[in-house]
Amino acid sequence: MDWSVKRDTNDCSSQGQQRFAPLNSWPDNVSLDKARRLLWPIKQKYGNKISWADLMILAGNVALESMGFQTAGFSGGRPDTWEADESVYWGGETTWLGNDVRYSHGHEGKSGQGVLDGSQDTKSKSDIHTRDLESPLGAAHMGLIYVNPEGPDGNPDPVAAARDIRVTFGRMAMNDEETVALIAGGHTFGKTHGAAPDSNVGAEPEAAGLEAQGFGWANKHGSGKGADTITSGLEVTWTATPTKWSNKYFEYLFKFDWELTKSPAGANQWVAKNAEPIIPHAFDSSKKQLPTMLTTDLSLRFDPEYEKISRRFLENPDQFADAFAKAWFKLTHRDMGPRSRYVGPEVPSEDFIWQDPIPTPSSPLVSEQDVAALKKEVLATGIDASKLISTAWASASTFRGSDKRGGANGARIRLAPQKDWEVNNPKQLAEVLKALEGVQQKFNGSGKKVSLADLIVLAGAAGVEQAAKNAGYDINVPFTPGRGDATQEQTDVESVDHLQPHADGFRNYGKSGNRAKTEHYLVDKAHLLTLTAPELTVLIGGLRVLNTNFDGSSTGVFTNRPGALTNDFFVNLLDMGNEWKATNNQDVYEGFDRKSGSKKYTASRVDLVFGSHAELRAVAEIYAQADAGQKFVKDFVTVWDKVMNLDRFDLKKQSGSVPSRL
């Protein structure tokens, strides 16, 4: 699993991305090329009845259950994609296992073939207890899923390793208990493989020859398999029953004292002191071995908080089993969105807070007549249409197509933490919500019911209709009721807070950073909203003239009719009579009249990219044409409706298609 709550490293199980680069060639995924081939006959047999994405997760559950563990359940419904997702930022390093970009004093990594996650040289210990991992990354090294099992940069320090573990699993929205359960649960089974140095291992799948047919890491040591297998470079079997669920992992962790040793491949690992050889040899039933552990296993004993949880699990095996079952289900289903998307007979009945539960409306939905009346009531509040539109956009645009979180359903914009986000202009938001709550109370007092989630979207529709009318167009903005209102208790504040955008070009919010400029963040945001380039373009043009900047500024508002849904943004952006100049602020530009030299506009990088980027300019030119006014309004309304309903999985059956990419 390589899912991150922060999105940028989000590429978990939902699209079967492990089949493609770079995941299929990560040092942490050595030999999974073989595992996928073992599944191929099953996939071939059942064809389109099961996706690769579902099959890989189902196989994991079946494996656990075959060893006596009771999983929490399984849901199908993950569609496959057929190309690598190039939108994900895995880090700035250019070598496997490098971390010199994500940490200020990191490891340069290794180039060449046969790079494994246990093939690092121990580096300086100067900052492993204090260093900060670049946000939003989760892995400690390029090509790892989690952390270095030998310890930070190969230093066998369990306490420092615990710090890395907490950061990495925390960015996956896992708390300490879930982290301990996942590590211990996974290490109750199986073994690692490090029979010899990585010099015996060939190129990863993406670098191997055509004749390898997608296989990689050819092993020339001995037979190249069985006891001669090389994957991580570590040689550890955690328990005496590696194919059976038990509590032996914790029993051994606390029963023995541990001393540092080396694997046959030269990697740092730990062996039990003064112990009897009780661990079965995986390939020779006549042999027994001493108990062994990884540095990251000892973190669960020597980190104070992890140690408390580990001892509780040692003394309460049932709690451990329950925690692992729930954490495993969370890990493997975290990116599937709400329970309404789950498919199959093994879906658990329990609601989990990480699923962002939303109550189903219990009253009849509002009718078309009710909608028309409510629109009039909303406009009668005197709240400016731009504020109504801004609030609806703020609510709906939290949606992430990557993990199906966020969106207008639930009206979480009225709850912590969203109500306090700077990008949502809390003062203005509170004003709008107060007015809408008044409309809601009046309507609900009549015996009918409307949720605030529905009313926020409906108010946005009313605002867009008013803006179109101001531009001379009479248009109906579609609205479909059925949203519910979540409670604060149903909201995981810490996790939801990661939906907060670093930058939102749709509202001219945020600043350029060292890694990316605001226009790059805009494309990332558009990708999360499953927008095409034309959809992105028309939305920006509309939101600018609708005066919806997060702070109410005039940046990018290239019109003398703010609040009217016109194509003025594109007309004035592409006007040859305007000249654009940079300012001392890298994110701010100014537009001047070429003849008079007078200043006319202030623009952001996001605004100007629609005139600078060739493909976006081509779309902008369509909307700047003299006959494009009505088309612009129609297209804007279509895309607006799409965004408002991105999280309405109840309105559409899963088609199996993958969202469009820019």
pLDDT in tens, 606-638: 999 999 999 999 999 999 999 999 999 999 999
DSSP 211: G
pLDDT tens-digit series, residues 14-23: 789 999 999 9
Strand order in the sheet with 599-604: 578-582, 588-593, 599-604
pLDDT tens-digit series, residues 125-136: 568 999 999 988
Q: How far apart are CA 297 and CA 219, in angstroms?
A: 27
Share of the chain above pLDDT 90, in %: 91
In this prediction, residues 536-545 reach a mean pLDDT of 99
User: Is residue 655 over pLDDT 70?
Assistant: no
Count H helices, E strands: the chain? Answer: 19, 8
Q: How far apart are CA 8 and CA 421, in angstroms?
A: 20
Of 80, 112, 78, which is closest to residue 95 (Cα–Cα)?
A: 112
In this prediction, residues 287-307 reach a mean pLDDT of 99
Helix (H, G, I), strand (E, B) or coil at 604: strand
Strands 258-262 and 268-272: antiparallel
Place of tokens 């306490």: 159
CA distances from 210 to 27, 215, 224, 413, 549 (A): 20, 9, 20, 52, 52
Q: What are the E-state strand segments in 551-605?
A: 578-582, 588-593, 599-604
The sign of the CA dihedral 75, 79, 84, 89 is negative
Give the pLDDT of residue 9.
Answer: 38
Bond into 41 cis (ω within 30): no
Tell me the one-letter amino acid at 403.
Answer: D
pLDDT tens-digit series, residues 480-530: 999 999 999 999 999 999 999 999 999 999 999 988 999 999 999 999 999
In this prediction, residues 589-602 reach a mean pLDDT of 98
pLDDT band at 381 (very low <50, low <70, confident <90, very high): very high
- 193 within 8 A of 231, measured Cβ to Cβ: yes
pLDDT, mean over the chain: 94
DSSP 220: -
In this prediction, residues 340-353 reach a mean pLDDT of 96
Q: How far apart are CA 3 and CA 22, in angstroms?
A: 15
User: Is residue 653 over pLDDT 70?
Assistant: no
CA 562 to chain centre: 35
CA distances from 474 to 465, 466, 477, 633, 634 (A): 7, 9, 10, 10, 10
Q: How far apart are CA 301 and CA 253, in angstroms?
A: 7
Q: How far apart are CA 635 and CA 534, in angstroms?
A: 9
Instruction: Please list, in sequence order, all residues whose beta carbon lies within 8 angstroms of the beta carbon of residue 494, skipping any fewer than 6 positions away.
Output: 173
pLDDT tens-digit series, residues 418-443: 999 999 999 999 999 999 999 999 99
In this prediction, residues 51-73 reach a mean pLDDT of 98
Give the pLDDT of residue 13.
Answer: 72
Give the pLDDT of residue 117.
Answer: 55
pLDDT band at 656 (very low <50, low <70, confident <90, very high): very low
Share of the chain above pLDDT 70, in %: 93
pLDDT tens-digit series, residues 89-125: 999 999 999 999 999 765 566 655 555 555 555 555 5
In this prediction, residues 389-409 reach a mean pLDDT of 98
Of 450, 412, 420, 456, which is closest to residue 435 (Cα–Cα)?
A: 456
Tell me the one-letter amino acid at 602.
Answer: T
Tell me the one-letter amino acid at 2.
Answer: D
User: Is residue 450 over pLDDT 90?
Assistant: yes
Phi-psi region of 279 (alpha: psi -120 to 50; beta: other; left: phi over 0): beta
Of 583, 617, 584, 620, which is closest to residue 599 (Cα–Cα)?
A: 583
Helix (H, G, I), strand (E, B) or coil at 259: strand
pLDDT tens-digit series, residues 457-485: 999 999 999 999 999 999 999 999 999 99
Q: How far apart are CA 434 and CA 305, in angstroms?
A: 43
486-503 CB burial, b ≥16 within 10 A, e <16: beeebbeeebbebbebbb
In this prediction, residues 46-51 reach a mean pLDDT of 97
